[in-house]
Amino acid sequence: MSEFDLINQFFKTTIVKRNDVLLGIGDDCAILAPPANKTLAVSTDTLISGVHFPESTCAEDIGYKSLAVNLSDLAAMGAEPAWASLAISLPEANKSWLQGFMQGFNELAEKHNVSLIGGDTTQGPLSVTINITGFVDSNTALKRSNAKAGDAIFVTGNIGDAFIGLDTILNKSKSDQKPSGFFIDYCIKRLNRPQPRLKAGQLLTAFPVAAIDISDGLMADLNHICKASGVGAKLKIDKLPLSAELMHYYNKNPDWQRILSAGDDYELCFTCPENKLSEMKQLMRSHEIDITCIGEITASPGIKCFLNNEIQSFKLAGYNHF
Ligand code: ADP
Ligand code: MG
C-alpha cells in the first residue's frame, strides 16, 4: 500500500463533515472559515510509543487517546473543538492497525464534532502528533494566570486512577505477578480512554477562573497555575476525590505522594472566586458534572499540603521528559 492509498483509505474517509471546512484533505492545505465573532484556540500534543502509552497499547486506544489529550487542552481553555490535523509516523503500513486507530479516533471525533482536515504520513517509529483548533472568546478563556488569593481550588471527577493502570501494565511486562480484578480494569480504562472535560471547561467560561488539565500530576499542574498567577496554594489532601476502585487498590490507605504526582487522568483543576462559588456549583450540578473543592489559593507562593489540618512534606513531583 502506498502513502497515498493510506491517506485515501484511512484518513480522507473522515466521518465528521463541518460547514466551516471549505477544503479538507487532498490539497496542499486545508481551507477553513472560522466564525467572525470568535478567536481560535490552538494546541499540539505528540504521543510516542513507549513514552506516552505502553508499547502493548492497542491501535483503537492509541487513536482515541491521541485525540483525547488534545481535546483536553481545549477543555482546559474552555474552547469548543472544531478541527484536527494528524501527523503520524508508522513503522509499517498495517491495514488492520490503521483501521483500529481510526476507529478509536473517529469515535471521539464524532462525539465532539471534530473534522480531520489534513496531516502528514511518514514511515518511522510509531509516533502520533495532533494539532487541534477550537473556538473561544479570548476575554473568557480559562487562562492559567486568572487565579487570585482566596479563590477555592477544584478538580473534576477523580484523580490517581490512570497512574495505577499504567503502573500495572508496566510491571506486568517485567513479571508475571500482577494485581488483577475489576479495579485494575477500571484504572486501565481510565489510562487508555480519558474523557476530555469539554463541557466543564465551556461552562466555566461564565466565571473568572484559571484552569489546567491534569496531564503531569495534580501538584505539578496546579503549580503551573500558581506560577502563572503569582500565587500559592493550600491543598487539603484528605479532600482529594478518589474512586472506589482506587480505594480498593490502596486497601483504604491511599499513597498520597503517588496520587499527587500521578499524571494521565485528564481531569480539570480550576479555581473559583468566593462570590461565584454557589452559582458555579449549581451550574455544574445541573449538568451532572462532579467537582470537589480541594483547597484554596494563597497570596504566599508555593504549594502547602495538609492532611487533616496537619502540614505534610510531599514532594512537588510530576512527569518531566528531560
Ligand atoms: P504534501 O506533500 O503537499 O505535504 P501530502 O502528500 O503529505 O501533501 O498529503 C496529501 C493530503 O493528505 C494533504 O491534504 C494532507 O493534509 C493529507 N494527509 C496526509 N497525511 C494525513 C494524515 N495522517 N491524516 C490526515 N490527512 C493527511
Ligand atoms: Mg504540497
Which pLDDT does position 6 carry in this prediction?
84
Does residue 211 line the site of ligand 1, with CB under 6 A? no
Band the pLDDT of 15: cuts 50, 70, 90.
Answer: confident
Separation of CA 184 and ligand 1 centre (Å):
39
Residues of the chain with CATH 3.30.1330.10: 3-136
What is the fold of 3-136?
A: 60s Ribosomal Protein L30; Chain: A; (3.30.1330)
Cα→Cα distances 86→17, 116, 164, 260, 306, Å = 16, 7, 29, 32, 43
How does pLDDT run across 202-241, given as a tens digit for each residue?
A: 999 999 999 999 999 999 999 999 999 999 999 999 999 9
Which pLDDT does position 197 carry in this prediction?
98
Residues of the chain with CATH 3.90.650.10: 144-312
Rounded mean pLDDT of 43-58?
Answer: 93
Pick from 25, 102, 131 the residue to mutate for probing ligand 1's pocket: most ligand atoms within 8 Å of its CB: 25
- Cα 256 from Cα 154, distance rounded (Å): 17
Kindly tell me if the per-residue pLDDT of 318 is higher than 80: no
Does residue 100 line the site of ligand 1, with CB under 6 A? no
Instruction: Give SS3 for 184.
Output: helix
Q: State percent of the chain over pLDDT 90.
A: 84
Separation of CA 120 and ligand 1 centre (Å):
5
pTM of the model: 0.94
Distance between terminal CA atoms of the chain?
A: 37
How does pLDDT run across 224-233, given as a tens digit for each residue?
A: 999 999 999 9
Cβ proximity of 110 and 16 under 8 Å? yes
CATH code for the domain defined by 144-312:
3.90.650.10
How does pLDDT run across 121-153, given as a tens digit for each residue?
A: 999 999 999 999 999 999 999 999 999 999 999
How does pLDDT run across 165-183, given as a tens digit for each residue?
A: 999 888 875 655 566 788 9
| C-alpha cell recorded at residue 264 | 494521565
Cβ proximity of 304 and 234 under 8 Å? yes
Band the pLDDT of 321: cuts 50, 70, 90.
Answer: low
Which pLDDT does position 319 carry in this prediction?
67
Distance of CA 50 to the CA centre of its chain: 18
Separation of CA 193 and ligand 1 centre (Å):
27
| C-alpha cell recorded at residue 121 | 504520513
CB atoms within 10 A of CB 131: 17
Kindly tell me if the per-residue pLDDT of 310 is higher than 70: yes
- Cα 151 from Cα 209, distance rounded (Å): 9
* Among the bound ligands, the one closest to the CA of 127: 1
